Amino acid sequence: ELKVEQNPLFLSMQEGKNYTIYCNYSTTSDRLYWYRQDPGKSLESLFVLLSNGAVKQEGRLMASLDTKARLSTLHITAAVHDLSATYFCAVVSGGYQKVTFGTGTKLQVIP
Amino acid sequence: DADVTQTPRNRITKTGKRIMLECSQTKGHDRMYWYRQDPGLGLRLIYYSFDVKDINKGEISDGYSVSRQAQAKFSLSLESAIPNQTALYFCATSDWGTDTQYFGPGTRLTVL
């Protein structure tokens, strides 16, 4: 059974600081997604990482994928309050037959 | 207009009642999914469908059933609701290319 673990589960950081959220998964996969969820809202796709070494950047967020280590990171640069949300990674396994989500990382950026 | 819609958005019901949650999409995607979200547990897959004739159980399908009435419609039913089915339910769609999922606004279900 595929396990997807995120850490930290909760992150409180000051504006302007950098930090990284980690997503570890337990079985082979070469397709990983990052989503954002604002309080009381639905999920919004941020990044799709399709191969080992893939790196995607959008604004202050950068995601990377290391399939050998079964690890993805979401790096936040110079955080701003608008980035406060819960971030989920999701991993595809079984030939795209199943998508498994991590438990999420709740990010709070303090002005 | 939203690409993925869910009805109802909120529902309160009693134990033992039958409940149907509906999902419609205008994105033209073949793949549709139902998830439930519980605090601290992330999203868990209930059922998924890769086309109208394809229905598959997810990790927590017990107590739920689905119907794929058309490419654009995917309904989730709780035949006899119980309190531990109280949760936020999301429908999602994806295309064949990237499998990026597009989520509906969610249905908050409370079973008393």
Unique residue bearing structure tokens 């019901």: B13
Among B45, B90, B105, beta carbon nearest to A99: B45
* Minimal CA separation from A26 to chain B, in Å: 16
Confidence band, pLDDT 50/70/90 cuts, at residue B2: low
Question: Rg (Cα) of chain A, in Å, rounded?
Answer: 13
Sort A1 into a burial class: Cβ within 10 Å, 0-12 / 13-18 / 19+.
exposed
pLDDT at B96: 75
* Minimal CA separation from A77 to chain B, in Å: 24
Q: How far apart are CA B104 and CA B91, in angstroms?
A: 5
Check CB contact of B73 with chain A, cutoff 8 Å: no
> What tens digit of pLDDT does each residue of A57-70 get?
999 999 999 999 99
Is residue B1 scored above 70 in pLDDT?
Answer: no
* Tokens read off for B95: 């295309």
Q: How far apart are CA A95 and CA A107, in angstroms?
A: 31
Asked if residues A33 and A56 have their Cβ atoms less than 8 Å apart, the reply is no
Confidence band, pLDDT 50/70/90 cuts, at residue A95: low
Higher pLDDT: B88 or B39? It is B88
> Which candidate, A23, A36, A9, places its Cα nearest to that of A100?
A23
* Tokens read off for A69: 């280590």
**Which of 12-71 (A) contact B at CB < 8 A?**
31, 33, 35, 41-45, 48, 50
Check CB contact of A96 with chain B, cutoff 8 Å: yes
Chain A residues with CB inside 8 Å of B55's CB? none
Chain A residues with CB inside 8 Å of B91's CB? none
Q: Any long-range contacts for B7-11 (C-beta under 8 Å, 24+ apart)?
A: B7/B107, B8/B107, B9/B105, B9/B106, B9/B107, B9/B108, B10/B107, B10/B108, B10/B109, B11/B107, B11/B108, B11/B109, B11/B110
> What tens digit of pLDDT does each residue of B14-41 get?
999 999 999 999 999 999 999 999 987 7
Confidence band, pLDDT 50/70/90 cuts, at residue B76: very high
Provide the residue type at B103 as one letter.
F
Asked if residues B35 and B66 have their Cβ atoms less than 8 Å apart, the reply is no
* Minimal CA separation from B7 to chain A, in Å: 14
Check CB contact of B39 with chain A, cutoff 8 Å: no
Average pLDDT over residues B49-63: 92
